[in-house]
Amino acid sequence: MLTPLGLCVYPSLSLLPCFSPSLFFSSLFFSPFFSHFSLLLTSLWLTRTTHHRNLSLEGINLRQQQHTSNNNSNKAMTQVPRYHNSPPAGPDAPVCAGTGRERTQGAPRGSTASIKCTVEAEPAENIRWSWIRKRADGTEEEVPDEDVRVDGLSSSVLVTPHTPEDYGRFLCVASNDVGEQREACVVTLVPAGPPDAPTNCSVSPADPSTVHAHPTTAALTITCLEGFDGGLPQHFTLETWQDNELIDNMTR
């Protein structure tokens, strides 16, 4: 089968010579233009965008053969990374999972806290971890491997702070077969304390669909911005009072 990009694609596993006049693979680390190549295929998907030609490959070894008028020279077999989506989004060295790579965690003195780091990576196998501890007094040390726990794409260390100097920053760096994480995930361990009060509270009528059809029923929606959680998970309590008497309360 000849694709719109000039590639010969066959469903079975075979070594195929194909011809493309001026196919440009900027992301495959080859010379920009070549005239003849061979593909060892396990599976292949092709997509095209309006302004660019994108190639999505999975599990492919590619050998480029550059022809001249007198002789042929075969370049070394190149392992093309594994791609799952189109346009290709991997493979990738690990990156911090979630929206941010830094967060704060609280722990009271004398209590043991589990500091966890989670990454996204492709491939997700053979993840290796290293942890650096930067104490509040400015000293820095590597966390011993025996203190590091690993669970797939997550790793954690147990810390029991006894003095103010035991608090500080923990940096975790993961690596896979593609490479090492460029930016470390950072967890700042702080002394746990009471949370800050909610701010910017406002009251508005509730959605009519949530109010039962009863002449004495009224509903309000109270919206607040949560404050700093003190380094620990926080809960919110709403109380309803009338004439100095507690009518109802709710905790979330």
- Judgement on whether residues 84 and 98 belong to the same structural domain of the protein: no
Q: Do 190 and 205 contact (CB within 8 A), yes or no?
A: no
The percentage of the chain sitting over the pLDDT mark of 90, rounded to a whole number, equals 31
Q: Where a domain ends, among 89, 108, 139?
A: 89
The span from the CA of 115 to the CA of 190, in Å, is 12
Banded pLDDT at 151 (limits 50, 70, 90): very high
Same domain assignment for residues 39 and 68: yes
Q: What is the mean pLDDT of residues 191-211?
A: 81
Amino acid at 193: G
Residue 103: pLDDT over 50: yes
The answer to the question of residue 10 being in a domain is: no
Whether the pLDDT of residue 177 is over 80: the answer is yes
* Cα–Cα dist 240/248, whole Å: 5
Counting the structural domains of the chain, the total is: 3
Question: Does position 86 have pLDDT exceeding 90, yes or no?
Answer: no
Q: Which two tokens stand for residue 157?
A: 């260390």
Segment 128-146 mean pLDDT: 91
pTM of the model: 0.48
- Alpha-carbon distances, residue 142 vs 43, 82, 129, 209, 221 (angstroms): 43, 33, 11, 57, 50
Query: Among 140, 164, 191, which residue terminates a domain?
Result: 191
Four-CA torsion 232, 238, 243, 244, nearest 10 degrees: -20
Pick from 1, 16, 2, 122: which is nearest to 61 by CA? 16
Evaluate if residue 171 carries a pLDDT over 90: yes
The answer to whether position 3 is within a domain reads: no
pLDDT at residue number 252: 82
Structural domain includes residue 21: yes
**Within 13 Å and on the Cβ side, how many CA atoms surround 204?**
7
pLDDT for residue 146 is more than 50: yes
Using alpha carbons, select from 195, 199, 198 the residue that is nearest to residue 230: 195
Counting every residue, how long is the chain?
252
> Which pLDDT band holds residue 80 (cuts at 50, 70, 90)?
very low
CA 141 – CA 151 distance, rounded (Å)? 23
Q: Are residues 166 and 237 in the same domain?
A: no
Output the pLDDT for position 214.
59
More confident residue, 68 or 207: 207
Q: Is residue 146 part of a domain?
A: yes
Q: What is the separation of C-alpha 27 from the centre of its chain, rounded to a whole number of angstroms?
A: 22
Could you tell me the two tokens for 56? 């999505």
pLDDT: which is higher, 97 or 62: 97
Q: Do 247 and 221 fall into the same domain?
A: yes
What pLDDT, on the 0 to 100 scale, is given for residue 189? 94
Residue 57 structural domain:
15-89
Report the pLDDT value the prediction gives residue 216, as an integer from 0 to 100: 63
The pLDDT of residue 98 is 84
Domain membership of residue 29 (yes or no) is: yes
Whether residues 19 and 78 fall in one domain:
yes
Host H or E run for residue 83: none
Looking at the structure, tell me whether residues 170 and 244 fall in a common domain: no
Q: Which two tokens stand for residue 128?
A: 């290796």
The mean pLDDT of the chain is: 71
